[in-house]
């Protein structure tokens, strides 16, 4: 029943979202020239929120590491379980051995509400919170990861594989095309929209009692110039800097998938270039270091699909 309600909600949200190519009154306006969009991200996709053809793609069908973008799927599996968000969960020690730094400020043995753990998983990319959510899933972590992969299959994500709920393993792979499907589905969850776009949150723990402040890893949610409807960042050495986001451009919600770029703020710069391209037809240039990184990474992909073609 909950899945059916979320499907209906997603359909209602999308029904009010017109493609960027449609002008008021049902007429058509030309899409901007893909050749005029220069991005620092190696893999990219831009599409209207409502189902339809992407208006820009760049190596979008190649599965690559997605780092903490994984946590969007983690959130959907938690919410699909129907487990109460106000339930207090013990913060358990990891039983796996992540290949990357999994430092957390959360104290082992304390307790937090499932909803708070979900919020900081999405908003602050808290890795231990994601792990605890999976451990307290019926059947434990392995059953949770299996549910992530089953959800991906349901969404038609044919180039996707999950091996952990946090994104610390570079074996978590997806293509930009698959992530478009995931983000569109995630938009049907009001909790994901609200939690992923919050600016700051103080979370209260118990046994022992203490509080921690968390912020959003996407600086654009703090900006009055952006209306962000869903957001998730990610980073591993293997994945580069990643960002999936839904944001209004010209009054229309647009999905942006940006994978493998250089520097903390480079995906944010790409988001700005996409908006400028949609609004003016030209994106502007990419900074030197980020452009050098993009060129070195794309050199190995030469000849693999067309760049910038819808």
Listed by start position, the domains of the chain span: 30-299
Specify the residue for token string 């020690």: 93
- In this structure, CATH architecture of domain 30-299: 3-Layer(aba) Sandwich (3.40)
The ranges of the chain with pLDDT < 50 are 1-2, 4-5, 7-28, 304-310
Which tens digits make up the pLDDT trace of 77-114?
A: 999 999 999 999 999 999 998 888 789 999 999 999 99
Beta bridge partners of 203: 212
Q: Indicate the pairing of strand 200-205 with strand 210-215.
A: antiparallel
Cβ burial of 107 (10 Å; 0-12, 13-18, 19+) is middle
Q: What is the pLDDT of residue 64?
A: 97
**Which uninterrupted H or E stretch holds 129?**
helix 127-135
Q: Which residues contact 6 (CB under 8 A, 6 or more apart)?
A: 79, 188, 189
Indicate which residues carry an active-site annotation. 68, 71, 125
Specify the residue for token string 């050098």: 292
**Whole-model pTM?**
0.89
For residues 66 and 69, give the distance between their C-alpha atoms in angstroms, rounded to a whole number.
Answer: 6
For residues 185 and 180, give the distance between their C-alpha atoms in angstroms, rounded to a whole number.
Answer: 9
Which tens digits make up the pLDDT trace of 188-211?
A: 999 999 999 999 999 999 999 999
What is the Cα Rg of the chain in Å? 19
143: phi then psi, degrees, rounded to nearest 5: -65, -35
Specify the residue for token string 């358990």: 92
For residues 215 and 291, give the distance between their C-alpha atoms in angstroms, rounded to a whole number.
Answer: 29
């Amino acid at each position: 029943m909950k899945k059916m309600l979320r499907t209906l909600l997603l359909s209602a949200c999308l029904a009010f979202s017109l493609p960027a190519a449609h002008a008021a009154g049902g007429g058509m306006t030309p899409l901007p020239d893909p050749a005029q969009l220069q991005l620092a991200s190696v893999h990219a996709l831009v599409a209207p929120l409502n189902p339809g053809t992407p208006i820009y793609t760049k190596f979008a069908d190649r599965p690559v590491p997605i780092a903490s973008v994984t946590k969007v799927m983690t959130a959907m599996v938690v919410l699909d379980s129907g487990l109460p968000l106000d339930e207090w969960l013990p913060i358990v020690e990891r039983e796996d051995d992540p290949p990357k730094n999994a430092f957390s400020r959360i104290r082992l043995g304390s307790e937090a509400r499932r909803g708070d753990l979900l919020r900081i998983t999405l908003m602050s990319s808290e890795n231990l919170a994601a792990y605890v959510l999976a451990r307290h899933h019926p059947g434990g972590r392995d059953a949770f990861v299996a549910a992530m992969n089953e959800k991906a299959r349901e969404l038609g994500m044919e180039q996707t594989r999950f091996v952990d709920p946090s994104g610390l393993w570079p074996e978590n792979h997806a293509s930009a095309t698959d992530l478009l499907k995931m983000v569109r589905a995630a938009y049907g969850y009001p909790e994901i929209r609200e939690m992923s776009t919050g600016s700051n949150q103080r979370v209260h723990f118990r046994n022992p009692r203490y509080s921690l402040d968390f912020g959003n890893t996407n600086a654009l949610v703090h900006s009055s110039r952006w209306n962000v409807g869903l957001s998730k960042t990610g980073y591993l050495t293997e994945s580069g800097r990643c960002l999936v986001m839904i944001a209004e451009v010209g009054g229309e919600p647009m999905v942006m998938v940006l994978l493998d770029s250089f520097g903390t703020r480079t995906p944010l710069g790409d988001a700005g270039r996409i908006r400028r391209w949609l609004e003016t037809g030209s994106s502007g240039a990419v900074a030197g270091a980020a452009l050098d990184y993009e060129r070195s990474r794309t050199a190995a992909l030469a000849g693999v699909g067309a760049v910038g073609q819808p």
